Amino acid sequence: MGAVTLAYPVSAGDGLFWQESRPGEAGRVAVVRRGAAGTDELLPPEFSARTTAHEYGGRAWAVGAGGRRVVSSNLADQRLWVLELGREPYPLTPEPSEAGGARFACPVWSPEGTWVVAVRERHQAGVVLNDLVALRSSGSPCEPVVLAEGHDFYSSPVFSPDGERMAFVCWDHPDMPWDRTELWQGRFADGRFHGAKPVVGRAAGESVLQPKWGPDGRLTYLSDRTGWWNLYTEDGEALAPMQADFAGPAWTFGDSDYTFLPDGSLIATWRANATGWLGQVRDGTAKPFDLPYTSFAYLAPGRDGVLVVAGGPAVAPELVRVSEGGVAMEVLRRSRPARLSPEWISAGEPFTFPTGAGEEAHAIYYPPCNPEQVAPSGEKPPVIVTSHGGPTSAASSVLELRTQFWTTRGFGVVDVDYRGSTGYGRAFRRSLEGRWGLADAEDCAAAVEHLARSGRVDPARVVIRGSSASGLTVLSALARYPAFAAGTVLFGVADLALLARDTHKFESHYLARLVPEGEWVDRSPLQFVGRIGTPVLFFHGKDDRVVPPEQSRAMAQALRSRGVTAVLIEFEGEGHGFRRAGTLVQVQEAELAFYGEVLGFEPAGDLSAAKALLEAGRNW
């Protein structure tokens, strides 16, 4: 208990601000301020700084100049609220005609503090409209002024240091932000956008992300025009051309993978071969710092260095202040209350393996690790195969306690970066197009085969798990490959046609790129349920709007009708991705009890509650 997820550090005035997502408070998102007098919360206990725009949300708050005011979306009503020291919060946006009908994300204050610009998403009678709006900070609710409209999506509004120019990113269906976007800029005056023009247009066919202005007033952005997300200036100058990605897929608002320090220094993070670096970009090159971390996110300028959420194989993510010269100066906040002793940590081992017709994929293997237990001589460990959702995403080598939960109990874990994963360039990222449910499942089976050939795991004791998009990977792998003894699906996809009909606007055309429309029925696990003969455990949140719970219900019922064990456990108050501490504990323990049943062992500890949960799930 006490674990949090950290994001979006900001240095303003004499304070340092950041976000904490707290499972122990039913997933509430708090904004915390650290100043000379100590650390305190800015939001009232009933507030949660979370937006549901795009359903996945992201950065929902911003700090004004001087650190005296904060604007934030509130989960309960999705309105923007302003918080000032010594004053009760007041709404900046009017109350919508229907609850949650207007959602706001990625807000930013104008430098002089008069205006707030934000992405707006309106839900009206089944139609979803997105635009970019400005709101005058007048002390009472005001009607938003539309700055830009006509595109399907907007993100990343940013002001120049003098407040006279503004830039933003937009894109249209059927593209996702990692496929093709446009970067626009124009002059901002009196709450209006003037002379707007594209810096990089749609015809360029590239993914442009994260515009920022440097202290010198030059606009900088990330583009994958060479096949890798690299840094460029507005006149097209490449700042550090290399075969590495300086960004990941923009699933949420507010990613920040590079930043400028007050003296003009450019600090960035980049990723290649499953490893991340942080360093300074200067004179056409990126020079990495020597730090004990392999993953970096949410970069922001501090008063004497860069603020970053960083983690590594032996370190869970923590908020760190790093000097301009690359020295980790101070850990400001840890996401976990204590660090594990090194002897209990299974360090991930990245590897590349053959798959498909002469292709390659990637994975990270975590061997069992428990200093108090020794496996019988000659016995190979059982293995859990897992993979990321998305499916446009990537595995991470950062210390994850849920992974260590398995390795301390005698399991090996292999986290697969199947074809289509990010961090390996645009060509690899697009290699899943048309092949979702085929190439990813094949890669999971090939990873196990590779580990078994090397003598690392027991090929007779293999289970596979996945969430969201990788839930479809699990079900496809169970149907196509005999390597797996069971599967666990967390809020996963089972019916592609139903997903295409019911999913939200952000992903409503995503499926067509991953699976040809004519194959939606045949590629859906519900259609080949007769080829699955192994037990499957399903978890789903009843409030899921991305993959509705009917997907798991239909799949579980279809398996049961054929006499296959299918356990379905649903959770009240949970959506797409579980946030509550109680839910997370129940899932982990029920999964362990399930694998004990399937693989024929009795897990240590009291799992009576987990077994009762499984029994209830059998009788659903």
Task: List the alpha helices (DSSP H) in 549-580.
Answer: 550-561
Q: Are residues 486 and 543 in the same domain?
A: yes
Task: Identify the domain boundary among 317, 339, 361.
Answer: 339
The answer as to whether 192 is a domain residue is: no
List the one residue out of 576, 493, 569 whose CA is nearest residue 537.
Answer: 569
The answer as to whether 60 is a domain residue is: no
377: confidence class by pLDDT, cuts 50, 70, 90: confident
pLDDT tens-place string over residues 545-562: 889 999 999 999 999 999
Residues 382-400, mean pLDDT to the nearest whole number = 95
The answer as to whether 168 is a domain residue is: no
Question: How far is CA 82 from each of CA 9, 68, 340, rounded to the nearest angstrom?
Answer: 18, 10, 39
User: What CATH number is associated with residue 421?
Assistant: 3.40.50.1820
pLDDT tens-place string over residues 156-185: 999 999 999 999 999 999 999 999 999 999
Q: Are residues 577 and 495 in the same domain?
A: yes
**How does the average pLDDT of the chain come out, rounded?**
94
The answer as to whether 445 is a domain residue is: yes
pLDDT tens-place string over residues 584-617: 999 999 999 999 999 999 888 889 999 999 999 9
- Give the distance, in angstroms, between the CA of residue 252 and the centroid of all CA atoms in the same chain: 7
155: confidence class by pLDDT, cuts 50, 70, 90: very high
Is the pLDDT at 97 greater than 90? The verdict is: no
Q: How many of the other CB atoms lie within 10 Å of CB of 543?
A: 13
Give residue 242's pLDDT.
Answer: 97
pLDDT tens-place string over residues 71-94: 999 999 999 999 987 788 999 999
Maximum distance among all Cα pairs of the chain, rounded to whole angstroms:
75
The answer as to whether 173 is a domain residue is: no
Q: Are residues 270 and 386 in the same domain?
A: no
Q: Name residue, tokens 């840890």.
A: 334
Contact, 282 vs 325, CB < 8 A? no
Is the pLDDT at 341 greater than 90? The verdict is: no
pLDDT tens-place string over residues 410-463: 999 999 999 999 999 999 999 999 999 999 999 999 999 999 999 999 999 999
Q: Are residues 335 and 436 in the same domain?
A: no
Residues 373-378, mean pLDDT to the nearest whole number = 80
The answer as to whether 406 is a domain residue is: yes
Q: Are residues 428 and 531 in the same domain?
A: yes
Q: Are residues 317 and 432 in the same domain?
A: no
Give residue 65's pLDDT.
Answer: 81
Q: Are residues 440 and 550 in the same domain?
A: yes
The continuous run of DSSP H or E covering 583 comes out as helix 581-599
The answer as to whether 316 is a domain residue is: yes
Task: Identify the domain boundary among 339, 371, 398.
Answer: 339
361: confidence class by pLDDT, cuts 50, 70, 90: very high
The answer as to whether 391 is a domain residue is: yes
Burial 23-43 (b: 16+ CB within 10 A, else e): bebebbbbbbbbeeeeeeebb
Give residue 1's pLDDT.
Answer: 53
Residues 17-21, mean pLDDT to the nearest whole number = 97
- Give the distance, in angstroms, between the CA of residue 562 and the centroid of all CA atoms in the same chain: 36
Q: Are residues 333 and 434 in the same domain?
A: no
Containing structural domain, residue 541: 343-584
Q: Are residues 277 and 291 in the same domain?
A: yes
Q: Are residues 266 and 393 in the same domain?
A: no
Structural domains of the chain, count = 2
Q: Read off the pTM.
A: 0.93
Is the pLDDT at 338 greater than 80? The verdict is: no
Q: Are residues 455 and 479 in the same domain?
A: yes
Q: Are residues 321 and 352 in the same domain?
A: no
